[in-house]
Amino acid sequence: MFKKILVANRGEIAVRIVRACSEMGIKSVAIYTDADRQALHVKKADEAYHIGADPVAGYLNAHNIVNLAVAAGCDALHPGYGFLSENPELAEICERRGVKFIGPKADVIRQMGDKIQARNAMTKAGIPCTPGSNGNLKNLEEAVALASKIGYPVMLKATNGGGGRGIRRCDSEKELLGNYDRVISEASKAFGKPEVFIEKCVVSPRHIEVQVLADAQGNAIHLFERDCSIQRRNQKLIEIAPSPQLSQAQREYIGGLAVKAAKAVGYENAGTVEFLLDSDNTFYFMEMNTRLQVEHTVTETITGIDIVQEQIRVAYGLPLQYKQKDVSFRGYAMEFRINAEDPKNGFLPSFGKITRYYAPGGPGVRMDAAIFSGYEIPPYYDSMCAKLTVWALTWEGVIERGRRALDDMIIYGVKTTIPYYQEILKHQEFRDAEFNTSFVEMHPELANYANEIPPELIAAAISAVIAAHEGI
């Protein structure tokens, strides 16, 4: 097995990978910028190295990171998610320097990262895709002509995009004319490439994704699906496994499609095949994420399979420990992305010092976090500061456990999405599992009730006043 792994990331995912290494008897190496000197992943790893003052650039310099891995004696590198996790150049540099990249091959990352290539590969493999362009759009005139052919609404998307960026819905030719240059600009700034394509917009779909694992011996399996329909501006907020909205037949069908997709491109390691499910119960391939997902925790919770450890084993050259017949799930799991945002103020980021933090606990509760009391959330990174995952045997049970765990969780000093999620859990459509990707948009009133002063804080304030009065 590997002796030492460099974790090319930060925050909660870096802590998650460090813990997996520890359980496997592997030394871990963390990296950090000035903004992360006091970060938890730095404290948890066996070794930690400074990579510069710039809060972001250090995590994006593939050559420096791999040079550091070599200098530190690492024989493997785990990219986590975000940053360079889907950068084929990082995988190529690792290969040249003799450091094993814990992820798929560079050519597969490149192929599936290019949405046009991915669509074409899936079409060839018989995976259903939404109608759209077979290549990058040459100009606005081609976009208008194609949109007229497939019918509005359409989606303009950055070919190399991800994370909900570089995407615009166009309900008419006028909107297409107005959004075309915007998407080109967003694609250039966010991904360094101006290429965009167009596809039919599936209105108010359910967002269903399937976790896959594949090894170098040609074995590929799925670990069932996750429902990621609760999202805001294409950013996921709550993830659920399995989907409470699918029948067993649909579950088996989409799982088979995902394995077929992985085999079609010679995939190795962990990946996620994402689909849209329309109102006619038709599945359409959307994209494949060639990395570990933020929401991998819900899949681990229902299956009992440690996806990160399996990633490491596969990268070392070992076959999967499981065959498809060995994989089953039990109950439901739900993950809440705890974002440092103010739902009442348009979800604006709320960075700053956490004055008090209490993690929830009890049966069926898992916390993935890199925060602690006194930690200063830096303004340079994504606003997600923690992930709360809950499990229960039934759909009703997991909702109630989520409600209880959110009530238990206390973060003072910054505003978070915790009270917003509490409102979602109360909503009857959510409780009835009758929701799709338009749920958040259709219920803006839920944010109006968020961020009320917690009873605990009111009680603490009253107690402080009484104590001060008695002291006088």
How much is the pLDDT for 187?
86
Nearest partner of 154 among 193, 190, 196, judged by Cα: 196
Tell whether the model's pLDDT for residue 463 goes beyond 70: no
Q: Which of 180, 200, 220 is the last residue of a domain?
A: 200
Taking the C-alpha atoms of residue 134 and residue 116, their distance in angstroms, rounded to an integer, is: 6
How much is the pLDDT for 162?
67
CATH number for the domain harbouring residue 54: 3.40.50.20
Contact (Cβ atoms closer than 8 angstroms) between residue 241 and residue 298: yes
Please state the separation of Cα 387 from the chain's center in Å.
11
How much is the pLDDT for 406?
98
Nearest partner of 424 among 414, 435, 411, 415, judged by Cα: 435
Taking the C-alpha atoms of residue 216 and residue 205, their distance in angstroms, rounded to an integer, is: 34
The pLDDT mean for the chain works out to: 94
E strands within 242-315? 269-277, 283-289
Please state the separation of Cα 115 from the chain's center in Å.
18
Residue 430 lies in a domain: yes
Calculate mean pLDDT across residues 248-273.
Answer: 98
373-426 residue pLDDT tens: 999 999 999 999 999 999 999 999 999 999 999 999 999 999 999 999 999 999
Quick one: DSSP state of residue 228?
Answer: E
Least confident of 146-150, 344-348, 452-456: 452-456
Judgement on whether residues 269 and 359 belong to the same structural domain of the protein: yes
How much is the pLDDT for 464?
55
Judgement on whether residues 89 and 210 belong to the same structural domain of the protein: no
Q: Any residues with CB less than 8 A from the CB of 53 and at least 6 apart, and which?
A: 33, 34
Judgement on whether residues 171 and 263 belong to the same structural domain of the protein: no
How much is the pLDDT for 134?
85
Residue 71 lies in a domain: yes
Query: In sequence order, what are the beta bridge partners of 389?
Result: 335, 366
Calculate mean pLDDT across residues 32-37.
Answer: 97
Calculate mean pLDDT across residues 226-242.
Answer: 96
Residue 145 phi, psi (nearest 5): -65, -45
Residue 269 lies in a domain: yes
Judgement on whether residues 65 and 173 belong to the same structural domain of the protein: no
How much is the pLDDT for 188?
87
Q: Which of 65, 87, 102 is the last residue of a domain?
A: 102
Taking the C-alpha atoms of residue 94 and residue 63, their distance in angstroms, rounded to an integer, is: 9
Judgement on whether residues 172 and 35 belong to the same structural domain of the protein: no
Please state the separation of Cα 306 from the chain's center in Å.
17
Judgement on whether residues 29 and 155 belong to the same structural domain of the protein: no
Residue 364 lies in a domain: yes
Calculate mean pLDDT across residues 262-287.
Answer: 96
Residue 253 lies in a domain: yes
Calculate mean pLDDT across residues 166-180.
Answer: 94
Calculate mean pLDDT across residues 207-230.
Answer: 98
Nearest partner of 275 among 287, 293, 267, 263, judged by Cα: 287
Judgement on whether residues 222 and 137 belong to the same structural domain of the protein: no
DSSP H or E run through 360: none
Residue 111 lies in a domain: no
Taking the C-alpha atoms of residue 59 and residue 82, their distance in angstroms, rounded to an integer, is: 10
β-pairing verdict for 384-392 and 332-339? antiparallel
Judgement on whether residues 243 and 299 belong to the same structural domain of the protein: yes
Judgement on whether residues 62 and 140 belong to the same structural domain of the protein: no
Calculate mean pLDDT across residues 61-67.
Answer: 98
Q: Any residues with CB less than 8 A from the CB of 358 and at least 6 apart, and which?
A: 408, 409, 410
Taking the C-alpha atoms of residue 50 and residue 247, their distance in angstroms, rounded to an integer, is: 50
Environment class of 361 (CB within 10 Å of its CB; exposed 0-12, middle 13-18, buried 19+)? exposed
Token output for 197: 């394509």
Percent of the chain clearing pLDDT 90 (strictly above):
88
CATH number for the domain harbouring residue 265: 3.30.470.20
What ranges in 306-445 are assigned the alpha helix state H?
307-316, 395-408, 418-426, 428-431, 439-442
Judgement on whether residues 360 and 427 belong to the same structural domain of the protein: yes
Tell whether the model's pLDDT for residue 210 goes beyond 90: yes
Residue 241 lies in a domain: yes
Environment class of 24 (CB within 10 Å of its CB; exposed 0-12, middle 13-18, buried 19+)? middle
Tell whether the model's pLDDT for residue 452 goes beyond 60: no
How does residue 341 score in pLDDT terms, banded at 50, 70 and 90?
A: very high
Environment class of 464 (CB within 10 Å of its CB; exposed 0-12, middle 13-18, buried 19+)? exposed
Contact (Cβ atoms closer than 8 angstroms) between residue 133 and residue 139: no
Judgement on whether residues 183 and 279 belong to the same structural domain of the protein: no
Least confident of 233-237, 294-298, 322-326: 233-237
Contact (Cβ atoms closer than 8 angstroms) between residue 17 and residue 309: no
Taking the C-alpha atoms of residue 383 and residue 341, their distance in angstroms, rounded to an integer, is: 7
100-124 residue pLDDT tens: 999 999 999 999 998 899 999 999 9
Letter for the amino acid at 459? A
Domain span including residue 73: 4-102
Tell whether the model's pLDDT for residue 453 goes beyond 60: no
How much is the pLDDT for 189?
83
Residue 231 lies in a domain: yes
How does residue 462 score in pLDDT terms, banded at 50, 70 and 90?
A: low
How does residue 53 score in pLDDT terms, banded at 50, 70 and 90?
A: very high
Nearest partner of 308 among 34, 110, 22, 10, judged by Cα: 22
CATH number for the domain harbouring residue 150: 3.30.1490.20
301-339 residue pLDDT tens: 999 999 999 999 999 999 999 999 999 999 999 999 999
Q: Which of 144, 178, 200 is the last residue of a domain?
A: 200
Question: Higher confidence at residue 450 or residue 206?
Answer: 206
Contact (Cβ atoms closer than 8 angstroms) between residue 351 and residue 377: yes
Residue position matching structure tokens 């689909």: 275
> What is the tally of structural domains in the chain?
3
Judgement on whether residues 356 and 287 belong to the same structural domain of the protein: yes
How much is the pLDDT for 159?
86
The set of catalytic residues is 291
Tell whether the model's pLDDT for residue 262 goes beyond 90: yes
How does residue 461 score in pLDDT terms, banded at 50, 70 and 90?
A: low
Tell whether the model's pLDDT for residue 449 goes beyond 90: no
